[in-house]
Each structure stands twice: as C-alpha cells, then as structure tokens.
Amino acid sequence: MELEIRNATLGYSGKAVLTDVNLTLSTGTTTCFLGKNGAGKTTLFRSLLGLVPLLGGDVLLDGRSIRRWGRRDYARVVAYVPQARALAFPFPVRDVVLFGRTAHLSTFAYPRRKDRLIADDCLERLHISHLSDRLFTRLSGGEQQMVIVARALAQQPTFLIMDEPTASLDFGNQVKIIAQVNALKDESLGILMATHEPDHAFMCRANVLVAHNGKLWKSGDCDSVITDAMLKEIYDVNVCVCRMKDVNNRIIRTCLPVI
C-alpha cells in the first residue's frame, strides 16, 4: 500500500509553507524527515493526516484521495504520534492506550476484552507494562511519549507518522524507540518520522527527506543524502559525517558537530 502526496501546496489559509510537494511512502520502509525548526515538518504531517486542508494538490492513500476517506477508516490505516502535550484529565495509562482502539470500534461501542488485550500487548512491546495503572498526567514527559507511541500501535496501522517521537526521551528510551521503529518496519509498516537527530536515519537505515526553504529539498537513501554539505546548508553549522566500525566490524555512520 502507498501513502502519497501529489503536487501539493501545504500551509494555512493561503500562506504556503511547503510548495511542490511530491512524496510517496511505501509499506516496509522508514523515512526520516529532517529540517530545521519551522521548516514545515509538522505542517506536512498535519496535511497527511487531513487535519488541515491542502492548498493545492492531493493526498492519496491506497490510490484514493484523502477527501474520500472517512475519519475512522483512515485512522485504521494511518496512526499519528503527535508531540507530547498536556492532558486535562488524569486517565490511567491503560485507558490512554485503549483510546487507540477507537477507530476499530463500531459507533457507540465500548472497547471489549480483545481490545484490552491488544492495548496490554502494545504496552508490553514497548516495555512499559509497569506503567499500566499509573495516571498519564503523573508520568514524565518521556514516559508519556512512550505511552502515546503505544496508543498509535494499538491502532494497528499500516502507516505510522511520528512527530519527533524521541524528543523528550532519555538516551535509553530513544534507542528503544528506534529499535521499535526497525521492528515495525520489518513487520512491513510504513513509517514517517520527524527527527532532529540525523543519526537516527543511519540507525534506521531510512530514506531521508529534507525540508528546506519551503520545498522538499532532498530525498533518497540516508548514505547519499546526509552529507557534510547538506547538514551545513540546512542547520548552518559545521558537521562531519564520520564512518566507523562497530563491534561486529560493520561500518556505521554518525554525525559529529565540529565545534
């Protein structure tokens, strides 16, 4: 299945943020989305999810325009991990994950045993079962983020769109999320992830998409797109993309800022 943006202009009430956007996401691939703050990453995500109307062009899921998908059907295929935000009410973690099952319920139905099992399973996958009975509002930012990822998994989506999923996570949880992203890719999900860490692209063996100056400036395989020159251009700092060997003698790349 493919999720596609075709000749689109994205932005808000007449003010374009990204123009000439063409993008195809396939199942079984990871795409990392780079770009400095305000480059339009979240705008693209919101457009992909149908949260803001397109200023031009179209978004197609499985060849059908997003305009012709119902909310619920769309949410069964595409899940979203937004940047963590405050929640007004103290829901327990298990319930928050259960909310991910909403798209699979019929109109007035409540979640059943099967849904609860799926929710527990998603918590298990992310190694956060111990949080199940805690109140979401009482968790740290990083823990909340993990719970929101679990909620998206509970949607059992084909495509997973994540807006800086590692943003408030400690080093260990960042690695866990990346490992989970790789595992989900192997289960043939299509993943689009915004990140401020170019290294994540290397760790995910991802395709890279770069938003710069109101366009999708570059896209392609991480080794070819992430270069010293590209990073200098978008972030305006000097970076060295280094190659080194890990314990298994595999070549890995990493970005080191030159200070």
Interface with another protein, residue 214, by CB under 8 A: no
Shortest separation between residue 110's beta carbon and another protein, angstroms = 6
Shortest separation between residue 71's beta carbon and another protein, angstroms = 5
CA distances in angstroms from 103 to 152, 180, 192, listed in the order given: 11, 23, 20
Shortest separation between residue 100's beta carbon and another protein, angstroms = 7
Beta bridge partners of 60: 4, 65
Shortest separation between residue 222's beta carbon and another protein, angstroms = 27
What the block records as the tokens of 59 is 């978004």
Question: For another protein, which is the closer residue by CB, 95 or 197?
Answer: 95
Interface with another protein, residue 12, by CB under 8 A: yes
Interface with another protein, residue 33, by CB under 8 A: no
Interface with another protein, residue 111, by CB under 8 A: yes
What stretches of 158-227 show up as alpha helix (H) in DSSP?
Answer: 171-186, 198-204, 222-225
Interface with another protein, residue 9, by CB under 8 A: no
Question: For another protein, which is the closer residue by CB, 155 or 174?
Answer: 155
Residues numbered 218-237 forming contacts with another protein, rule: CB under 8 A: none
Handedness of CA 90, 93, 95, 96 (dihedral sign): positive
Dist CA 169 CA 166 (whole Å): 5
Question: For another protein, which is the closer residue by CB, 38 or 220?
Answer: 38
Say if CB 168 and CB 82 are below 8 A apart: no
What the block records as the tokens of 248 is 């298994």
Shortest separation between residue 202's beta carbon and another protein, angstroms = 28
Interface with another protein, residue 113, by CB under 8 A: no
Say if CB 149 and CB 162 are below 8 A apart: yes
CA distances in angstroms from 259 to 37, 171, 231, 238, 245, listed in the order given: 21, 22, 14, 7, 23
Interface with another protein, residue 49, by CB under 8 A: yes
- The span of 82-90, 187-195, 208-216, 242-250 binding another protein (CB under 8 A) equals 82-90
Interface with another protein, residue 174, by CB under 8 A: no
Interface with another protein, residue 16, by CB under 8 A: no
Interface with another protein, residue 13, by CB under 8 A: yes
Interface with another protein, residue 72, by CB under 8 A: yes
Q: 34, 27, 28, 24: which is closest to 200 by C-alpha?
A: 34
Query: Which element (helix H / strand E) includes 160?
Result: strand 159-163
Token pair 């259960």 in the structure block, residue: 98
Q: 165, 167, 186: which is closest to 177 by C-alpha?
A: 165
Q: Which of 38, 90, 220, 257 binds another protein (CB under 8 A)?
A: 90
Residues that bind another protein (CB under 8 A): 12-13, 46, 49-51, 70-76, 78-80, 82, 85, 87-92, 95, 99-100, 102-103, 105, 108-111, 151, 155
